[in-house]
């Protein structure tokens, strides 16, 4: 059910006032400024008003002082726009107070709107690629940031009305997996993940480590620059693989299958899934086809040794190799091919690649190449680049064993929460199963929020101790606001969306502040979709929770002064719960009803 006719969202109210203001500016001062060029910002707490227009920009053309301009425009709005109830001018700031009906309308309309803050279908189809691991070792903390960003962006784009296809490109071929295969063949004696009682990806990772130990061992006795025999064997295996050798292929499939089973467990525990998988083993060859095509069109050129290049120096990039002299693919070849295949498969308008910022240059080049190849989707290519995750002790280094394993991490955060709840003695009257689900939601909530609240672009420090904090700016703090709301609603025996109609308007400052923050939700959803930035939504959710906790602390809901106030507070609480659950849901974080 959509909004009732008379109910408007706050952003529509603002648009309307902007139109009126634009008219006023032209009538009073004869200046023409389109409504969407006016800046409206929520009025700062220390001043009276709901939204503020900055009038400095018009003072020159209006040939009047900022205060005069503010006064005259304010008067005009008061007279001509029913949404404006009062105004005041401080220096060059025109603070507008909305008609209380605007706010009541927001509350009743928002409660009725099943998908508050969402946008209708845009008809755009967007692919989001994330995770994209190698198949030789388990996922780690770095992948978690990637996965959470990809998942969250997908949800946000969907909520903004786009059709989203979540995908990844699995690096399932190459020397790395051959190394695991070789070590398994030499050392395993037929051991499997089942007999070893290990997750498949960890199991294969174990043999990758074993291979590296073997290689290190052999290197010791060798002169500088000479290749250890295991490395030659691994290369030989890769050659056989490329020749489609039956045994090699069978072994490869067996190990990869184990790995995928392991990955899927990790994805499940994180609560993510994909719509479509791509594998490099299937896309690395077709890539060459597009190189041929580009060569014919003169986008690429061939050197004497047969290697194929592109010259991007005119756009301040380098000469880039796109096909080796022996005719085999490089990374770039594959990515060109994969993009084309995906376009043909999915018909997407836009492709978002969630990949670490060490590949910024690679994607700059890739996008330029696709543009020159005339790809119809080339305007919709976006590299969602994110910074590395460091530990308080510095970088994660596999050689030093400081890499944080994804599965261990998830288990640890849940365990921390479990321990904490035991100490507190909460949830004692809740069934074991339900308890576990709550711990899982809280643990993952803490972890996910900790990572997603940081702007993707920035490198971040992952402090394991802080990631399971439950106080302050954390996931559980936000979840706690939701839990409090559910508890109140349960006691009030409200278990369906309220039909809030009362034209009550004597709001306490904290109530007004909360409402004002809630009203910003649609704009925040839109903005974080446009900038592909879940951190904006994360920080906003915290603002909502904080405002609610304050309100909850100072004002009694069930024992409110009058029935009217009580109903308003219940409606306000329900609306808050809705925004919190939706917003956190877009981050991939689930809310518990109790904690």
Partner RNA sequence: GGUCCCGUAGCUCAGCUGGAUAGAGCAGCUGACUUCUAAUCAGCAGGCCACAGGUUCGAAUCCUGUCGGGAUCACCA
Does 136 engage in binding with RNA (CB under 7 A)? no
Measuring CA to CA, how many Å separate 440 from each of 142, 414, 585?
A: 21, 5, 15
**Of residues 146-175, those binding RNA (CB under 7 A):** 171, 174
Among 163, 371, 550, 585, binds RNA (CB under 7 A): 550
Instruction: Dihedral sign for Cα 115, 119, 124, 128, please.
Output: negative
CB closer to RNA out of 88 and 502: 88
**Of residues 47-106, those binding RNA (CB under 7 A):** 47, 49, 52, 54, 56-57, 60, 90-93, 95
Does 417 engage in binding with RNA (CB under 7 A)? yes
Whole-number minimum distance, CB 155 to RNA, in Å? 19
Among 19, 134, 212, 378, binds RNA (CB under 7 A): 134
CB closer to RNA out of 239 and 395: 395
* DSSP-assigned letter for residue 401: T
Instruction: Dihedral sign for Cα 184, 189, 190, 193, please.
Output: negative
Does 218 engage in binding with RNA (CB under 7 A)? no
Among 82, 455, 497, 513, binds RNA (CB under 7 A): 455
Task: Give residue for tokens 């290749």.
Answer: 227
Listed in order, strand segments (DSSP E) in 77-142 are: 84-90, 93-98, 125-129
CB count in 10 Å sphere of residue 95: 20
Question: Cα 136 to chain center, whole Å?
Answer: 26
Whole-number minimum distance, CB 217 to RNA, in Å? 23
Pairing relationship of beta strands 350-356 and 125-129 according to DSSP bridges: parallel
Cβ-proximal residues to 427 (8 Å cutoff; 6+ apart), any chain: 421, 435, 438, 594, 595
> Which of these segments, 44-52, 71-79, 138-146, 576-584, binds RNA (CB under 7 A)?
44-52
> Which of these segments, 2-10, 37-45, 105-113, 224-232, binds RNA (CB under 7 A)?
37-45
CB count in 10 Å sphere of residue 17: 25
Among 43, 135, 168, 582, binds RNA (CB under 7 A): 43
Cβ-proximal residues to 254 (8 Å cutoff; 6+ apart), any chain: none
Question: What tokens appear for 174 in the block?
Answer: 């190459």
CB closer to RNA out of 113 and 130: 130
Question: Cα 233 to chain center, whole Å?
Answer: 42
Please report, for the chain, how many H helices and E strands are present, in that order.
22, 14
Among 6, 246, 471, 495, binds RNA (CB under 7 A): 471
Extract long-range pairs of 33-37: CB within 8 Å, 24+ residues apart. Answer: 33/57, 33/58
Does 491 engage in binding with RNA (CB under 7 A)? yes
Backbone φ and ψ for 457, nearest 5 degrees, come out as -60, -30
Does 301 engage in binding with RNA (CB under 7 A)? no
Cβ-proximal residues to 434 (8 Å cutoff; 6+ apart), any chain: none
Whole-number minimum distance, CB 588 to RNA, in Å? 18
Does 475 engage in binding with RNA (CB under 7 A)? no
Does 454 engage in binding with RNA (CB under 7 A)? yes
> Which of these segments, 140-148, 159-167, 414-422, 498-506, binds RNA (CB under 7 A)?
414-422
Does 552 engage in binding with RNA (CB under 7 A)? yes
CB closer to RNA out of 164 and 484: 484
CB closer to RNA out of 7 and 584: 584
CB closer to RNA out of 164 and 571: 571
* DSSP-assigned letter for residue 329: B
CB closer to RNA out of 9 and 43: 43
Angle at which helix 475-491 crosses helix 432-452, to 10 degrees, equals: 130
Q: What share of the chain is helix, strand, coil (3-state, %, to 5)?
A: 55, 10, 30
CB closer to RNA out of 54 and 198: 54
Does 399 engage in binding with RNA (CB under 7 A)? no
CB closer to RNA out of 41 and 268: 41
Among 457, 501, 505, 562, binds RNA (CB under 7 A): 457
Does 329 engage in binding with RNA (CB under 7 A)? yes
CB closer to RNA out of 43 and 152: 43
Alpha-carbon distance 152 to 551, whole Å?
A: 29
Among 488, 498, 514, 532, binds RNA (CB under 7 A): 488
């Amino acid at each position: 059910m959509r909004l009732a006719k008379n109910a408007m969202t706050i952003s529509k109210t603002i648009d309307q006032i902007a139109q009126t203001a634009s008219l006023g500016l032209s009538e009073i001062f004869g200046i023409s400024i389109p409504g969407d060029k006016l800046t409206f910002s929520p009025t700062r707490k220390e001043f009276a008003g709901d939204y503020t227009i900055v009038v400095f920009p018009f003072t020159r053309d209006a040939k009047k002082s900022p205060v005069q301009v503010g006064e005259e425009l304010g008067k005009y709005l008061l007279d001509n726009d029913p949404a404006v109830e009062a105004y005041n001018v401080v220096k060059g700031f025109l603070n507008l107070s909305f008609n209380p009906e605007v706010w009541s309308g927001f509350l009743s309309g928002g409660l009725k709107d099943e998908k508050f803050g969402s946008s209708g279908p845009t008809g755009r189809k967007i692919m989001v690629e994330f995770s994209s691991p190698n198949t030789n070792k388990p996922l780690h903390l770095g992948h978690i940031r990637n996965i959470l960003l990809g998942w969250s962006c997908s949800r946000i784009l969907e909520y903004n009305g786009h059709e989203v296809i979540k995908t990844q490109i699995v690096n399932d071929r190459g020397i790395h997996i051959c190394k695991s295969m070789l070590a398994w063949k030499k050392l395993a004696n037929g051991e499997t993940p089942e007999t070893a009682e290990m997750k498949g990806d960890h199991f294969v990772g174990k043999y990758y480590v074993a291979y590296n130990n073997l290689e290190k061992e052999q290197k010791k006795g060798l002169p500088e620059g000479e290749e250890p025999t295991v490395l030659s064997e691994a290369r030989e295996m890769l050659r056989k693989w490329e020749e489609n050798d039956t045994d090699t292929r069978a072994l490869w499939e067996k190990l990869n299958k184990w790995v995928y089973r392991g990955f899927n467990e990790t994805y499940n525990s994180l609560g993510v899934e994909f719509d479509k998988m791509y594998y490099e083993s299937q896309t690395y060859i077709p890539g060459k086809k597009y190189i041929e095509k580009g060569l014919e069109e003169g986008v690429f050129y061939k050197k004497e040794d047969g290697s194929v290049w592109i010259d991007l120096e005119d756009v301040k990039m380098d000469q880039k190799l796109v096909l080796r002299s022996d005719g085999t693919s490089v990374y770039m070849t594959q990515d060109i091919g994969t993009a084309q295949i995906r376009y043909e498969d999915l018909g997407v308008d836009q492709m978002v690649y969630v990949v670490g910022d060490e590949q910024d240059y690679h994607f700059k080049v890739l996008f330029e190449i696709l543009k020159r190849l005339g790809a119809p989707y080339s305007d919709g290519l976006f590299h969602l680049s994110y910074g590395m995750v460091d530990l308080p002790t510095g970088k994660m280094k596999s050689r030093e064993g400081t890499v944080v394993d994804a599965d261990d991490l998830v288990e640890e955060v849940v365990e921390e929460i479990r321990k904490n709840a035991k100490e507190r003695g909460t949830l004692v009257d809740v069934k074991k199963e339900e308890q576990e689900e709550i711990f899982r939601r809280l643990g993952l909530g803490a972890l996910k929020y900790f990572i997603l609240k940081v702007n993707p672009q920035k490198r971040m420090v992952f402090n394991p101790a802080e990631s399971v904090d439950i106080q302050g700016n954390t996931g559980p703090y936000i979840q706690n606001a939701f839990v409090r709301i559910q508890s109140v609603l349960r006691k009030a025996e409200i278990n369906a969306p309220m039909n809030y109609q009362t034209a009550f308007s004597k709001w306490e400052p904290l109530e007004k502040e909360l409402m004002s923050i809630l009203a910003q939700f649609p704009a925040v959803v839109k903005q974080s979709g446009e900038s592909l930035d879940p951190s904006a939504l994360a920080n906003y959710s915290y603002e909502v929770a904080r405002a609610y906790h304050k309100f909850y602390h100072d004002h009694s809901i069930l024992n409110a002064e009058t029935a009217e106030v009580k109903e308003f507070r219940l409606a306000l609480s329900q609306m808050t719960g809705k925004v919190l659950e939706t917003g956190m849901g877009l981050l991939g974080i689930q809310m518990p009803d109790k904690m």
